[in-house]
Amino acid sequence: LESGILLPLAIRGRVRHGRHFTFKSVLGDTAITLVAASVTGTFVDADKPYVAHGPWLQVLIPEDFIEIMATSLEPLNNPDQLTLPKTFFWKERKLAITILSDGRYQ
């Protein structure tokens, strides 16, 4: 949940402005980076929006999807009102994000 709460900020504050945002696992060397289309030096592109490179996953968030994703993630702005686990699913993008309680991996 703690990391999930950062998702709206990552989308609206970083990706919307042409930047990237990386979630790094505290359990190992796994990382997930949300990437704006304007970011250079990435492995993702319009034809390959999801690319794993070793333990690192890059997820392309195209310009036309930023507002849709940000709006969908608005419930994370009120975490006390969430029923967990909570899955956000965008079928047309073949993307799902599940938010778990923090205690699940402690």
pLDDT of the residue at 106: 45
pLDDT tens-place string over residues 23-64: 998 889 999 999 999 999 999 999 999 999 999 999 999 999
pLDDT tens-place string over residues 42-51: 999 999 999 9
**Least trusted range by pLDDT, from 19-23, 24-28, 76-80, 92-96:** 24-28
Alpha-carbon distance of 19 to 12, in angstroms, equals 10
CATH placement of domain 6-105: 3.30.1360.230
Distance, CA of 1 to chain centre: 13
Alpha-carbon distance of 79 to 45, in angstroms, equals 32
Supply the pTM of this predicted model.
Answer: 0.90
Per-residue DSSP letter, 12: I
Alpha-carbon distance of 67 to 40, in angstroms, equals 21
pLDDT of the residue at 27: 86
Residue 51 CB contacts under 8 Å (≥ 6 apart), including other chains? 42, 43, 44, 57, 58
